[in-house]
Every structure is written in C-alpha cells, then in structure tokens.
Amino acid sequence: MESQKDSKSISPQQQQVPEFGWINTISTLLDNQFTIPFTRIKFSVDFLIGLIPTVGDWLSFAISSIIILAIVRRGVGIGMLLKMMFNIILDAIVGSIPIIGDLFDLRYKANRRNVEMLRQYYIQNPNPPSAKRSFFVVFLIFLVLMIAILMAVFKLIGWLWATLYGYYNG
C-alpha cells in the first residue's frame, strides 16, 4: 500500500510518463533525502557535494541539467523549460558563493522546485507539447549562460589573485 506522500508524489497522468519516476527519485536524492536531527531541515547529496568548492556546485549543476534533458525528451513547453533552467542556474550561481551558497542550498532546493512545477504542469497539460523544436533555442541560452558564468568566475579569480598577490601588468 502506498503512503499518502507517495500517492501525492505521482499523479495518474504522471504514471504514464516513464521518466517522471526516476526524475522524482533523483530530485529527492539531491535535495530531501536526510533530515538534520531535531529539526525540519532537509538536506541531501546536492548540499554535501556543494561543500566541495566550485567543483561540487558544477557537478550538482550537471546532474540537474540531466534532469532537464530528460524532461525535454518527454516534451514540455518552452516557458516551463526556461523556469526550470532559471532554478538550476540560480542554484549554481548562488551555491558557488562560499558559506552563503551552502546555506542557500539548504533552503532553495532547485530540483524539488522543478519536480513540483513539472507535476503541476503535467496535471494542467496531460498531453504536453513537444519541445524538440525549441530545444535548440533553450540549449543556446543555456550555453551562453554557462559561458558567462565561467567568464565571471575567471575574472573573479584574476581579481582575487591581483588583490592577494599584488600582481600588476606594467
């Protein structure tokens, strides 16, 4: 017999979507697997790997991106894709800030947000549109944002290096 939480997790429409089960499982593993004793604060793999400076946040971002790609394969509107991408990009950017980003990861839970948005979307749209035509546009936006983030990180590292070690050209 399913618990109330499990029956709430997947609607009848979503049971017809094979990807939704593992998307829900991965999301839980990333964001809500464990509870800090004597609190209601949930954390999981995303928080733990986010403790590894820079690499952890990018790894978490890559895993979240795989979830987005699975959703694209199934079909979802461009507006929903952009909202979901915003969630994981915000999580990656803020999450990369030492200490503040780790505290943000405990609260924001981008993957859970995306699953909840997807759940509502599939309830409202039992036959979602194909996103294959718009995937290219979304991919380009995603690529530009990733390049911008990398450039910002390299500029920040350069500024820190110049500030800490007094390196000046000229």
E strand map for 34-161 = 34-35, 42-43
Q: Is residue 84 part of a domain?
A: yes
Q: Is residue 59 part of a domain?
A: yes
Domain assignment present for residue 27? The answer is: yes
Give the pLDDT confidence score for residue 113 in this predicted structure: 92
- Tell me what the mean pLDDT of segment 146-154 comes to: 80
Residue 37 lies in a domain: yes
Phi, psi (5° rounding) for residue 63? -65, -45
Domain that holds residue 117: 4-134
Q: Is the pTM of this model over 0.75?
A: no
Closest CA relative to residue 106, chosen from 58, 54, 35, 52: 35
pLDDT > 80? residue 126: no
- Provide the pLDDT for residue 16: 54
E strands present in the chain: 34-35, 42-43
Q: Do the domain assignments include residue 35?
A: yes
Question: Is a pLDDT exceeding 80 seen at residue 127?
Answer: no
Say which residues have a Cβ less than 8 Å from residue 155's Cβ, sequence separation at least 6: none
Question: Which of 7-11, 36-40, 162-166 is modeled with the greatest confidence?
Answer: 36-40
- Residue 43 forms beta bridges with which residues? 34
Decide if 145 is inside a domain: no
pLDDT at 139 over 80: no
Q: Is residue 66 part of a domain?
A: yes
**Structural domain contains residue 164:** no
Coil, strand or helix: which one is 141? helix
CB 57 within 8 A of CB 99: no
Q: Whose CA is closest to 119, among 88, 73, 91, 84?
A: 84
Q: Report the number of distinct structural domains present in the chain.
A: 1
Taking all residues of the chain, what is their mean pLDDT, rounded to a whole number? 77
